[in-house]
Structure 1
């Protein structure tokens, strides 16, 4: 009996058990909406342990609204049960995606977009079950490529080849959706720097792109990408490994070289841009630099960058 009790305690610890008293002191969020209107950000939070009550927070920036939302009704806001995020279409840009990438460790929550007023939308539909049911039906009935997680949105928004879509939802006519989608490519990003940012932070591991070579354009897919970083002797050392394939060519040697150079340039552009950004060293750089303490600007601007990229051709994968 004693062994069983000990085993249960260990399981609860590993499964992330939160005691009732502790849970009762938290505002547990399962659905979140973000909107930008009249130069203000509006954050909507559905709190499941408060009878699914919706809270609204206003601020001049994303950072400010989330800072204001740290506590709700004297309870600490808790996002580890976040399952659905709804972006108003005017917030789908690099600023918002980079913020969510940096601030939320999970990237598996469902993502939807709307051009409706979020206040009206949340008045009708604010529980995660509403949206999860909708997505399940859409996947069953639609032949379109639909992005449903934040990771998929990040990857597809950088895709130069495939058309993939983010579901556009509406509360009108008592319908969650009329089967309308917005292309992920419509999300505004500086593709090269965003690609490097997400890759170095482990947020994407595959993407499609086009590479021009010998007066021709080739579709290329890079997949199983992994990035490792180390700071030593005033040098940031970055190693990228992964695989490359192309449906347009059987000879990947030149394409591999061009793809590696593209990635190297993307990373250098991102990291070097920080050297002109004295007052806003990014989370990417701080992630690389020892990961334990903030990197001061004077140190970083004199730091060397060493990048090693190793892409394996598809036919060589069997010999890994």
Structure 2
């Protein structure tokens, strides 16, 4: 029996169980924000067992600011429940990413970037559920954002072909998606281009969008989306199939035309940006890499592009 009890205790500790009396001596952080202004690093910590109070710590370096944050109100800062980290884009460099890789390797968490002041953002949104519910809703509605963890970012940075990205957010009356930020190139892409990259990587299979026809705006729902990309005879061939519906219009003919044109323009803009700035998030260049075994942006820049998009109306399928 004694051995069983010891095993249970070890298992609970391994799973991250924290006794209640120990929890009272901890400042449990679920959301973290990091900014760099006036040559100072500023750390924002949302402490969930202190009525979601936000603590602000400043320092001259990342090491100093996290050293100062070791204890909050005589409580040890506890990061095992960290779920969301928001970086200002001006701090997203190798120094920052390497620091987080070294200091926060045992946990995984969602990462977001913003061009706004993190202080202003945290005054309105500082709880993990603020961001997690926003990402879930925005992915389902617009397809312009997806869950991206720090480990996802690290995995991409270690890839010889692929570049990592972080979802970019802002706020007005509410949180809004602004696209994605690519740290390795210090480039921001808007939400339409971000959605095109998600579509080409099969990260989304549906989204809603607004289409203008005759000075009126209609909502179009695109779903069951599937993408296939091939490289042959110096041509990138992209084929997209799916369905389209609209709660605003019974005549989908023009909506389909405009939706297809929108997707084509977004994909072309994404690939042209990749060619000009030599980065890869669409994975299109991978198809060249598989044949040449090198990251050949000169070949990529001179490739032709063929896009074939087939959207069928509701209750039809691609085999009718």
Could you state the TM-score of these two structures normalised by the residue count of structure 1?
0.54
Secondary structure of the 1:186 match is coil
User: Cα 1:8–1:168, aligned 2, differ >3 Å: closer, same or farther?
Assistant: same
- 1:220-277: CA deviation from partner (whole Å, max 9, x where unpaired): xxxxxxxxxxxxxxxxxxxxxxxxxx634777xx94xx89xxxxxxxxxxxxxxxxxx
1:1-320 equivalences in 2 (<5 Å): 9=9, 11-106=11-106, 108-143=108-143, 146=146, 148-157=148-157, 161=161, 165-172=165-172, 174-187=173-186, 247-248=287-288, 255=293
Distance, in Å, in 2 between the alignment partners of 1:165 and 1:85 is 14
User: Cα 1:14–1:38, aligned 2, differ >3 Å: closer, same or farther?
Assistant: closer
Are the aligned partners of 1:153 and 1:166 in contact in 2 as well (CA < 8 Å)?
Answer: yes
Structure 1 residue 61 displacement after superposition: 0.5
- Structure 1 segments, 4+ long, off by >6 Å, are 1-7
User: Cα 1:96–1:6, aligned 2, differ >3 Å: closer, same or farther?
Assistant: closer
Distance, in Å, in 1 between the alignment partners of 2:44 and 2:15 is 28
Could you state the TM-score of these two structures normalised by the residue count of structure 2?
0.54
- 1:81-114: CA deviation from partner (whole Å, max 9, x where unpaired): 1111100010000010011111112352100001
For 1:219, the equivalent position in structure 2 comes to none
Are the aligned partners of 1:111 and 1:150 in contact in 2 as well (CA < 8 Å)?
Answer: yes
Distance, in Å, in 2 between the alignment partners of 1:79 and 1:155 is 22
Distance, in Å, in 1 between the alignment partners of 2:107 and 2:144 is 22
Are the aligned partners of 1:88 and 1:114 in contact in 2 as well (CA < 8 Å)?
Answer: yes
Are the aligned partners of 2:138 and 2:145 in contact in 1 as well (CA < 8 Å)?
Answer: no
Distance, in Å, in 2 between the alignment partners of 1:157 and 1:3 is 44
User: Cα 1:15–1:90, aligned 2, differ >3 Å: closer, same or farther?
Assistant: same
Are the aligned partners of 1:26 and 1:75 in contact in 2 as well (CA < 8 Å)?
Answer: yes
Structure 1 residue 166 displacement after superposition: 1.9
Structure 1 residue 133 displacement after superposition: 1.1
Are the aligned partners of 2:145 and 2:177 in contact in 1 as well (CA < 8 Å)?
Answer: no
Q: How many residues align?
A: 200
Are the aligned partners of 2:93 and 2:184 in contact in 1 as well (CA < 8 Å)?
Answer: no
Q: Which stretch has the larger CA shift, 11-20 or 139-148?
A: 139-148
Distance, in Å, in 1 between the alignment partners of 2:75 and 2:157 is 36
RMSD (Å), alpha carbons: 3.3
Are the aligned partners of 2:43 and 2:57 in contact in 1 as well (CA < 8 Å)?
Answer: yes
Are the aligned partners of 2:169 and 2:175 in contact in 1 as well (CA < 8 Å)?
Answer: yes
Distance, in Å, in 1 between the alignment partners of 2:186 and 2:178 is 19
List gaps (5 residues or longer) in structure 1. 189-215, 217-245, 260-320
Structure 1 residue 132 displacement after superposition: 0.9
For 2:270, the equivalent position in structure 1 comes to none
Distance, in Å, in 1 between the alignment partners of 2:149 and 2:120 is 24
User: Cα 1:14–1:104, aligned 2, differ >3 Å: closer, same or farther?
Assistant: closer
Secondary structure of the 1:247 match is helix
User: Cα 1:94–1:250, aligned 2, differ >3 Å: closer, same or farther?
Assistant: closer
User: Cα 1:69–1:250, aligned 2, differ >3 Å: closer, same or farther?
Assistant: closer
Structure 1 residue 151 displacement after superposition: 1.6
